[in-house]
């Protein structure tokens, strides 16, 4: 492991005005996305859609610092035979790979999950590095409900995240550490704040025990928001203030960047919250986006699987990338959204 190289990769991914495109949907997940726009879920259509994104030059070169890929995608070639990884690299962005194998029931913790994928991960990292990946992603999932999350679930997922991160760094790959507290439920923002703080403290303790070097990671957390079914939905300013408060309590300044997941928020809400946080200022880490649906829902709808709509899809993607780039600098406004 060369920590200087890992740090340089991480800093490139979250350079000013840049964030991360999460294009790592599994075949099953992208099926749901394609069903909504009436597109058949074939390997060619998945490739064509991702190629559309990666060839959106303005967005990729100016606003996207890294792209998270699925196993199929990192091996695919564009229609003209160019590996998709090379399209990403040519735009000055960093290719990455999702390496977890999803959440399964956690023994001893009813209705809670643990993320699998550690078995054989060292060998997979060797292969992915050869394929061009320079960062990776692993997601732990937590839920607020009666008695949840349990200490068992919080600790087990934090431990798995740390083991994954150590293996990634060992192989010259920057780990994105993603502990996601889901927005599902009717809990209020106070409960989300308390549980998010608990999860992050447990994660960073396990990272320390695993000797993971914080200068060579990216954190991908949820924002502090009320549950989607909560009667009171807090203001953009309060979400920003509470999220920053928790991050300052839990995330050491050695971490180069924090790239939020959108977690089911609307496109505009995810952008507005990020911009409000950056407007607060005085932060020890870069604060940016690592969005999937909040970057892709608009271009998917505009494209709808039709060759004649590629330009429209690229325009929609470029717009959302620009809005989130502005948010990562604390400069987004509703007026900018309307003008575009």
Catalytic residues: 178, 220
The separation between CA 16 and the C-alpha centre of its own chain, rounded to angstroms, equals 17
Nearest to 213 by CA among 37, 5, 23: 5
Cα 144 from Cα 82, distance rounded (Å):
44
Which residues fall within 8 angstroms of residue 147, CB to CB, at 6 or more apart? Answer: none
**Adjacent-strand bridge partners of 145:** 148
Nearest to 98 by CA among 67, 57, 59, 130: 67
Cα 112 from Cα 103, distance rounded (Å):
9
Neighbours of 15 (CB within 10 A): 15
Is the distance from CB of 229 to CB of 186 less than 8 angstroms? Answer: yes
Cα 105 from Cα 143, distance rounded (Å):
13
Look at the chain and count its residues: 340
């Amino acid at each position: 492991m060369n920590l200087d190289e890992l740090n340089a990769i991480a800093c490139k991914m979250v350079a000013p005005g840049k964030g991360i495109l999460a294009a790592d949907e599994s075949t099953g997940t992208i099926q749901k996305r394609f069903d909504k726009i009436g597109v058949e879920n074939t390997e060619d259509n998945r490739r064509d859609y991702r190629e559309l994104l990666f060839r959106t030059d303005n967005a990729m070169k100016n606003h996207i610092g890294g792209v998270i890929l699925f196993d199929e995608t990192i091996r695919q070639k564009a229609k003209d035979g160019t590996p998709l990884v090379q399209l990403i690299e040519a735009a000055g962005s960093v290719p990455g790979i999702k390496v977890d194998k999803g959440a399964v029931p956690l023994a001893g913790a009813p209705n809670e999950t643990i993320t699998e994928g550690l078995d054989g991960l060292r060998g997979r990292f060797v292969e992915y590095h050869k394929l061009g990946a320079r960062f990776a992603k692993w997601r732990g999932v937590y839920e607020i409900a009666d008695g949840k999350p349990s200490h068992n679930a919080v600790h087990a997922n934090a431990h798995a995240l740390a083991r994954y991160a150590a293996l990634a760094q060992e192989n010259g790959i920057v780990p994105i550490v993603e502990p996601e507290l889901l927005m599902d439920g009717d809990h209020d923002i106070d409960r989300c704040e308390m549980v998010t703080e608990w999860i992050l403290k447990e994660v960073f303790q396990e990272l320390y025990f695993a000797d993971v070097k914080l200068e060579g990671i990216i954190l991908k957390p949820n924002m502090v928001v009320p549950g989607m079914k909560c009667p009171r939905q807090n203001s953009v300013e309060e979400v920003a203030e509470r999220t920053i408060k928790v991050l300052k309590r839990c995330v050491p300044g050695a971490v180069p960047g924090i790239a939020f997941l959108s977690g089911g928020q609307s496109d505009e809400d995810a952008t507005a919250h990020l911009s409000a946080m950056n407007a607060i200022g005085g932060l020890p880490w870069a604060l940016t986006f690592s969005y999937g649906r909040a970057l892709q829902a608009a271009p998917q709808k505009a494209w709808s699987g039709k060759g004649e709509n590629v330009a429209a899809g690229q325009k929609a993607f470029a717009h959302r990338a620009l809005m989130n780039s502005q948010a990562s600098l604390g400069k987004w406004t509703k007026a900018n959204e309307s003008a575009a």
